Amino acid sequence: MRKFQKPELLAPAGNMEKLRMALLYGADAVYLGGKLFGLRAFASNFSAEEMKEAIRFAHSLQKKVYVTVNIFAHNEDINALPDYLRSLQDTGADALLISDLGVWSVAREVLPGMPLHVSTQANTSNWAAVKAWENLGASRVVLARELSLAEMKEIGSKTDVELEAFVHGAMCISYSGRCWLSSYLTGRDGNRGACAQVCRWEFGLREKNRPGEVYDVAGDERGTYIMNSKDLCLLAYLPELMQAGIGSFKIEGRMKSAHYAASVVSVYRRAVDACWSDPEHYTVKQEWLDELEKVSHRPYTTGFALGKPDETAQNYTTSAYLQSHEFTGLVRSWQQGRLTVEQRNNMKAGETLEVFRPDGSLGTLVLEEMRNEEGDAITVVPHPQMVFTCKAEEEIPVNAILRRRMY
């Protein structure tokens, strides 16, 4: 019999800064990759020592860290796998995310006590498959993104193992991320961590009897992006996900910015808390929707949650991102009316910035009396990660984000 409990909020962590921001802005756990055997080779990822530091930090907050080992391994990968798995255990990781049955078998043998989660790349899309993974010792199964809420609910009613599902972030055009386009067109294998995101490229149509002639698939001068999916957002369907037995709400985006991690986590933290406390009267607040527009994203869709997506789930005219606000600085300290900030984008004296605090509240700050680290007066902060101070009569908490409206 499934035990219902408040869902975990699980966030991506592409590097240490993103991990810290995700946890400080409300995530219960994060998932990250090491230097090997993960599907995000172009994220910064973590060395063994960096991972130990990250896990110590998470555990100091009573939060968890899951490590991805989710490539589809080839023969040459297996020899190095046992030692790598042991090194992950030494870091104190709370669980490993695995998609390949061979990797699973090695991990179960080498680390018999380590909790193992079935990655979404295993495309687990029915209750029988969930039961099969449970029989193999899975602590949790991450469901395929191609499931409706009704299908999730049926799985939840017929299984007992923990279930995890994506609630927000980029969608892959291929089934559960199993894609060979990148490998075929660029030599970079997306199933081994090196996806070139070919699905976001601009495509045309060529007819074999007319060599050299290329036609727009959807006729305008910008070409077409026939495989360019919108981003998932299930903020409005948290009650249904809870009723389906989903115990972990997962946010996609290890390649995204620290601003993205903080903003999206903050919204879902408030939403999960509100939904759990009163699911019958849960409503999506406009301020949450406004916040999700401030970070880099594509137009939002509900994906497969309400049934098979139609043509509106794709964006055929551009692969460009939307974003209403720009991350300009990160607060390092406040003391005696002066704020210390680390630059993320150019800032100038006199401009008014929005302050986004870890508790989700907003404020404003006018940049006045700016000084560099040597104490010299300045009017502009042009250099990446440059540290400066400015006047701030009211205290602003450490790790608050400063940002400007772009339009």
Which stretch of 72-86, 225-239, 264-278 has the lowest confidence by average pLDDT? Answer: 225-239
Cβ-defined contacts of 112-121 (< 8 Å, 24+): 114/85, 114/89, 115/139, 115/140, 117/66, 117/141, 117/142, 117/164, 118/142, 119/68, 119/70, 120/144, 120/145, 120/166, 120/176, 120/177, 121/39, 121/70, 121/72, 121/176, 121/177, 121/178, 121/191
47: tokens are 């060395």
Q: Which residues of 347-356 are buried (b: 16+ CB within 10 A; e: fewer)?
A: beeeeebbbb
- Reported residue count of the chain is 407
209: left (phi over 0), alpha (psi -120 to 50) or beta: alpha
Report yes or no: 240 and 149 within 8 Å, Cβ to Cβ.
yes
4: tokens are 């219902």
Q: Which residue has the tokens 């939060």?
A: 63
| E runs forming strands in 90-172 | 95-98, 116-118, 140-142, 162-170
- Residue 273, classed as helix, strand or coil, is helix
The pLDDT, as a whole number, for residue 36 is 75
pLDDT of 198 higher than 80? no
The pLDDT, as a whole number, for residue 207 is 65
- Regarding whether 276 and 380 lie in a shared domain, the answer is no
Which stretch of 4-18, 175-189, 326-340, 360-374 has the lowest confidence by average pLDDT? Answer: 175-189
List beta partners, residue 11: 30
CA distance 213 to 162: 53
pLDDT of 390 higher than 60? yes
Work out how many domains the chain is built from and give that number: 2
pTM of this structure = 0.88
What whole-number percentage of the chain has pLDDT above 90?
Answer: 72
- Regarding whether 338 and 395 lie in a shared domain, the answer is yes
Residue 213 in any domain: the answer is no
Which stretch of 11-15, 185-189, 240-244, 258-262 has the lowest confidence by average pLDDT? Answer: 185-189
Domain range for 361: 325-405
Which CATH number is 280's domain given?
3.20.20.70
Looking at every residue in the chain, the average pLDDT score rounds to: 89
The pLDDT, as a whole number, for residue 333 is 97
Average pLDDT over residues 303-319: 77
- Regarding whether 268 and 359 lie in a shared domain, the answer is no
Residue 398 in any domain: the answer is yes
Which stretch of 31-40, 85-94, 219-228, 353-362 has the lowest confidence by average pLDDT? Answer: 219-228
Report yes or no: 301 and 232 within 8 Å, Cβ to Cβ.
yes
Residue 117 in any domain: the answer is yes
Half-sphere exposure of 41 (CA within 13 A, CB side): 13
Residue 209 in any domain: the answer is no
pLDDT of 272 higher than 70? yes
Residue 101 in any domain: the answer is yes
Q: What is the CA radius of gyration of the chain?
A: 23
Average pLDDT over residues 347-354: 97
- Regarding whether 388 and 267 lie in a shared domain, the answer is no
- Regarding whether 295 and 358 lie in a shared domain, the answer is no
pLDDT of 220 higher than 50? no
Residue 370 in any domain: the answer is yes
Residues 49-107: pLDDT tens digits? 999 999 999 999 999 999 999 888 889 889 989 999 999 999 999 999 999 999 999 99
Q: Tell me which of 71 and 227 has the higher pLDDT.
A: 71
Q: Which of 257, 281, 313 is the last residue of a domain?
A: 313
What whole-number percentage of the chain has pLDDT above 70?
Answer: 84
Residue 26 in any domain: the answer is yes
Residues 112-166: pLDDT tens digits? 999 999 999 899 999 999 999 999 999 999 999 999 999 999 999 999 999 999 9
The pLDDT, as a whole number, for residue 40 is 54
Residue 108 in any domain: the answer is yes
In this prediction, residue 190 has a pLDDT band, given cuts at 50, 70 and 90, of: low
In this prediction, residue 178 has a pLDDT band, given cuts at 50, 70 and 90, of: low
Task: Name the amino acid, one letter, at 223.
Answer: G
pLDDT of 210 higher than 90? no
The pLDDT, as a whole number, for residue 209 is 73
297: tokens are 């994203």
- Regarding whether 104 and 27 lie in a shared domain, the answer is yes
Which stretch of 6-20, 204-218, 288-302 has the lowest confidence by average pLDDT? Answer: 204-218
Q: Tell me which of 42 and 105 has the higher pLDDT.
A: 105
Q: Which residues contact 101 (CB under 8 A, 6 or more apart)?
A: none
Dihedral sign, Cα of residue 91, residue 22, residue 167, residue 50: negative
Residues 130-145: pLDDT tens digits? 999 999 999 999 999 9
Q: Which of 284, 313, 342 is the last residue of a domain?
A: 313
42: tokens are 């172009």
- Regarding whether 167 and 142 lie in a shared domain, the answer is yes
Q: Tell me which of 95 and 207 has the higher pLDDT.
A: 95
Select from 128, 121, 163 the least CA-distant residue to 146. 121
Q: Tell me which of 227 and 230 has the higher pLDDT.
A: 230
The pLDDT, as a whole number, for residue 219 is 42
